[in-house]
């Protein structure tokens, strides 16, 4: 099939997993595989990690959890979204763990026989989902006094753990520790306690509790440019597109919409079949480049919906060659983090955008 390809290097995923485990001194990891495993393919990623012994996964929507169950994944799956009434019975039947993140949701879980397991999410400063800090004592008491409520975990989420300045993250940690203290005073035994994400693994590795939720680092990208980057993670996704046309053009030729790019000299313009509808970052055309056989070549003109153009100069390039857009192959490396930084975006945005017509090819 002609078109963009995402080669998913599962061997790199496993390599990254091993490194993270080492960094965490063996604390178990809950692999975050929401949004199709950040664009990498949720089923293949989950299968590769479960074969390494991972037995906690997290997704965002209930449908994402059902997809994993339908694929035969039997390990624990936590659903991050706020639950609705219609999910409850099916969650219990399929052994899917829900998120209790609002005091008003307690009645949903208060069912005699078929109440699903849940993790209690506490808001310590993200102000998104989570039990407000000032109601948490009451909620913990209700959990303690009601056998129908199957609370298996307690967690929170950092707002700034991947930033250089960590005082707000430390404040959130302090809040969370106070909540844990209340749970202890109530003699409430909660099996899983988790707070850390990729930023925390790098910036605050000493604060792991007994489970760590990791997404981005598993996929081989750093969560921001304000974290230590000495961990030798490898990019899991190699995103590439084929050269479908080559044309010699004289200096001054305008290329693509708006005619904003003009050939600085006589050159060869290549058309690559991958566009913003496939997840190619559109604004990367200004200073952007691709890699081919060890050299970078500038993107020429605005990125189109299905294609973009490259100024190949005097390169030895043929129709059918595949250029590296980001990731790593035998001859080229383009870090998705560098693109994100150049266009004021994030690796999260760029990786989760990969989809649509992009063919995923999994390599073990
Ligand atoms: C609740 C929650 N936990 C953990 C993660 C994983 O974060 P990261 O990919 O930075 O490791 C996310 C990702 O957005 C999240 O929403």
Q: Which ligand 1 atom lies nearest to the CA of residue 216?
A: 9
Q: 134 C-alpha to center of ligand 1: Å?
A: 24
pLDDT of residue 203: 95
- Active site residues per annotation: 34, 257
- Specify the pLDDT at position 311: 98
Q: Domain 10-214 falls in which CATH fold?
A: TIM Barrel (3.20.20)
Question: Is the CB of residue 189 less than 8 Å from the CB of residue 201?
Answer: no
Between the CA of 318 and the centroid of ligand 1 the distance, in Å, is: 41
Q: Tens of pLDDT along 210-259?
A: 999 999 999 999 999 999 999 999 999 999 999 999 999 999 999 999 99
Q: Which of 30, 32, 154, 204 to mutate to test the pocket of ligand 1 (most atoms within 8 A of CB)?
A: 32
Could you tell me the distance, in angstroms and rounded to a whole number, from the CA of residue 196 to the centre of ligand 1?
A: 8
CA separation for the pair 43, 64 (Å, rounded): 10
What residue spans define the domains of the chain? 10-214, 237-363
pLDDT at 356: 85
String of DSSP letters for 119-148: EEEB-SS--SSSB-GGGHHHHHHHHHT-TT
From start to end of the chain, where are the E strands?
5-9, 29-32, 56-59, 76-79, 98-100, 117-121, 150-155, 192-194, 212-214, 237-249, 254-255, 261-262, 267-272, 289-292, 295-298, 308-311, 322-328, 333-334, 359-363
> What integer pLDDT is reported at residue 112 of this predicted model?
62
* Domain formed by 237-363, architecture: Beta Barrel (2.40)
Q: Whats the size of the chain, residue-wise? A: 364
Cα separation, 345 vs 283, in Å, equals: 10
Residues with CB under 6 A from ligand 1: 32, 80, 157, 197-199, 213-216, 223
Residue nearest to atom 13 of ligand 1 (CA): 215
pLDDT value for 182: 96
Residue 124 CB contacts under 8 Å (≥ 6 apart), including other chains? 130, 133, 156, 157, 172, 173, 175, 176, 179
- State the Cα–Cα distance between residues 227 and 205, nearest whole angstrom: 11
Q: Per the structure block, which two tokens stand in for 259?
A: 């005619």
| Model pTM score | 0.96
| pLDDT tens digits for range 105-155 | 999 998 767 899 999 999 999 999 999 999 999 999 999 999 899 999 999
- Supply the residue whose CA is at minimum distance from atom 2 of ligand 1: 157
How far does residue 32's CA lie from ligand 1's centre (Å)? 7
CA-34 nearest atom, ligand 1: 13
- Collect the ranges in the chain with pLDDT lower than 50: none
């Amino acid at each position: 099939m002609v078109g963009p390809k995402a080669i998913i290097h599962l061997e790199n995923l496993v390599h990254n997993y091993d490194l993270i485990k080492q960094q965490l001194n063996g604390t178990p990891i809950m692999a975050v595989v929401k949004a199709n495993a950040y664009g990498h393919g949720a089923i293949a990623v989950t299968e590769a990690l479960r074969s390494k012994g991972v037995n906690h996964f997290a997704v965002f929507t209930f449908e994402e959890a059902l997809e994993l169950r339908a694929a035969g994944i039997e390990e624990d799956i936590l659903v991050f979204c706020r639950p609705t009434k219609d999910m409850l019975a099916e969650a219990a039947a399929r052994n899917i763990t829900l998120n209790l993140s609002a005091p008003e949701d307690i009645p949903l879980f208060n069912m005699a026989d078929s109440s699903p397991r849940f993790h209690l999410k506490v808001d310590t400063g993200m102000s998104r989902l989570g039990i407000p800090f000032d109601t948490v004592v009451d909620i913990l008491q209700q959990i303690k006094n009601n056998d129908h409520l199957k609370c298996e975990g307690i967690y929170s989420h950092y707002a700034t753990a991947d930033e250089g300045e960590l005082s707000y993250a430390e404040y959130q940690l302090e809040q969370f520790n106070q909540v844990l203290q209340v749970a202890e005073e109530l003699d409430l035994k909660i099996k899983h306690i988790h707070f850390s994400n990729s930023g925390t693994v790098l910036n605050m590795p000493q604060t792991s509790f007994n489970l760590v939720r990791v997404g981005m680092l598993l996929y081989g990208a750093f969560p921001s440019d304000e974290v230590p980057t000495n961990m030798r993670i490898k990019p899991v996704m190699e995103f590439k597109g084929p050269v479908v046309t080559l044309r010699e053009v004289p200096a001054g030729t305008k290329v693509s919409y708006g005619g904003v790019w003009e050939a600085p000299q006589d050159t060869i313009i290549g058309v690559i079949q991958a566009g913003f509808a496939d997840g190619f970052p559109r604004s990367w055309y200004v200073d952007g480049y691709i890699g081919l056989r060890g050299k970078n070549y500038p993107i020429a003109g605005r990125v189109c919906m299905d294609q973009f153009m490259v100024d190949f100069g005097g390169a030895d390039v043929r129709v059918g060659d595949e250029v590296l857009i980001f990731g790593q192959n035998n001859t080229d490396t383009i870090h998705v983090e560098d693109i994100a930084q150049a266009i004021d975006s994030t690796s999260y945005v760029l990786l989760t955008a990969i989809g649509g017509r992009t063919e995923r090819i999994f390599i073990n």
